[in-house]
Homo-oligomer: A and B are copies of this chain.
Amino acid sequence: MEVKEITNRDVDFAKWYTDVCKKADLVDYSGVKGSMIIRPLGYAIWEEMVKVLDKKFKETNHENIQMPMFIPESLLNVEKDHVAGFAPEVAWVTQGGKEKLEERMCIRPTSETLFCEHYKKIIKSYRDLPLLYNQWCTIVRWEKTTRPFLRSREILWQEGHTMHASAEEAMAETLRMFNIYKEFQEEYLAMPVITGEKTNKEKFAGAKKTYTIEAMMYDGYALQNGTSHYFGQDFAKAFGIEFVDKDNKLRTPYQTSWGVSTRMIGGLIMTHSDNNGLVLPPKIAPWKVIIIPIGDVDDKLKELEKNLKEKGITYKVDNSNKTPGFKFAAAEVKGYPIRLELGQRDLEKGLVTLVRRDTLEKITVAFEDALLEITKTLDAIQHNLYEKAKERRDKMIYEAHDYEEFKKIASTKSGFIKINWCGDEACENQIKEETGLKSRCLIADEKVDGKCPVCGKEAITKIYFGRQY
């Protein structure tokens, strides 16, 4: 049976991950190297994410727009740090129909340059600011090694792009959207996340500051799962964007951008799923319940469906002509939060059985209490998944007080390592070269309590290091 083929996640985590992606029918491969097919269940999860986030963006007054997918080479080249970061990994269109293009164009790897070209045309006065835009689209980055959801040549994502009259307002926007990402991932995806500023070395190409959401996966590796950038005026100056301020003087506006992608689906899987397949937090599961009718239970099924619909609880019914055992396993692999067994014999005693996907615990209740039990259990699952992930993560955060200890932890444990840091990129580079760990983010809310373990100089901040996807 297909379901049995999932590799044990403690034996080979990488293989386990791709097994889950495949067996749960989230993705398939195609003849297009480096791209994936997102199958119905995978896409339905993305649609849930889009629905929640799009609402949050609109509630904070952002408007959706759609830019071209192409960037002419000369436009990509306008901001020097940006082009240096992205030019090596873009796909180039060189021919349209029968004609060779005069200027080649890349497919957007991100759209700052396109937005800036537009801003220059439409921003004239302080009255035009702030300009709060978002775009849902596909971007392309020419990755050499790809993995479903985590690293792909094509990425479904959203990119927010905003312009402001003052630096303070732009920084407030950068942090506001950063917090929306954090809340979304904790509340909906049940993923405890570590958040903070990236080092200069790791920030987005062209940004002044990058704030990152760092989630720790089951194997202790980090997943950068969303970033928010403050650009200051660098792009605006490079593009010559100016506005007439209230005092009638010409000023240069301040810019932000922020994005999350289908990568979050990979994060979901590597945080919650298990050896039986996908596990989905109820708040992001497209269908909260899978009903498995056994025997002649049509009337009760109809009643239950009516109740679920009224309560707005999404569900599916497995009416296929497979055996109950096969259906149970299929329900598990696909990660429905609750499996509801509606059995003729149980119903004769007035009972139904719920099975929690997170714990596989069986709960038998009276049919009349099913709806209430479902509601309670969905809450309990959401809560439990978050707590379990947090407990695991907290156990995998280490602190190193000198460089020997750092190297020892790095070579024997998986997880994040916290150290004091002098702020010097040389020390960051040395750690990367000698241990393979990269900086995750600065720790804003902890006081420095020692020297930089690499160079021994005064530390200016604490910082996390870790291996990453």
A residues whose Cβ falls under 8 Å from a Cβ of B: 28, 30-32, 35-40, 43-44, 46-47, 63-72, 75, 88-98, 104-105, 107, 114, 117-118, 121-122, 127, 133, 137-138, 140, 142, 153-154, 156, 320
Contact = CB atoms under 8 A, between A and B. Distances in A.
Contact of A40 (B64, B92, B154): B64
Interface centre among A47, A68, A97 (most CB of B within 10 A): A68
A336 to B, nearest CB: 16
Contacts of A69: 35, 138, 140, 154
Contacts of A32: 68, 70-72, 75, 105, 114
B91 A92 contact: no
9 contacts: A35-B68, A37-B114, A40-B63, A40-B65, A43-B65, A69-B138, A91-B96, A94-B94, A94-B95
A95 B105 contact: no
Nearest to A144: B97
B89 A92 contact: no
A447 to B, nearest CB: 43
A66 B97 contact: no
A68 B30 contact: yes
Contact of A96 (B28, B92, B127): B92
Nearest to A152: B68
A95 B107 CA distance: 11
A35 to B, nearest CB: 4
Contacts of A133: 40
A35 B70 contact: yes
Contact of A37 (B66, B75, B88, B156): B66
B92 A88 contact: no
Given A37-B65, A44-B64, A68-B36, A92 B94 contact: yes
Nearest to A88: B97
Nearest to A113: B31
Given A32-B114, A66-B156, 13 more contacts: A31-B117, A32-B70, A32-B71, A37-B67, A37-B68, A37-B114, A69-B154, A89-B97, A91-B95, A95-B104, A96-B153, A137-B138, A138-B138
Contacts of A72: 31-32
Interface centre among A66, A97, A320 (most CB of B within 10 A): A66
Contact of A31 (B63, B75, B92, B137): B75
A4 to B, nearest CB: 19
Contact of A38 (B30, B66, B90, B105): B66
A38 B72 CA distance: 18
A66 B43 contact: yes
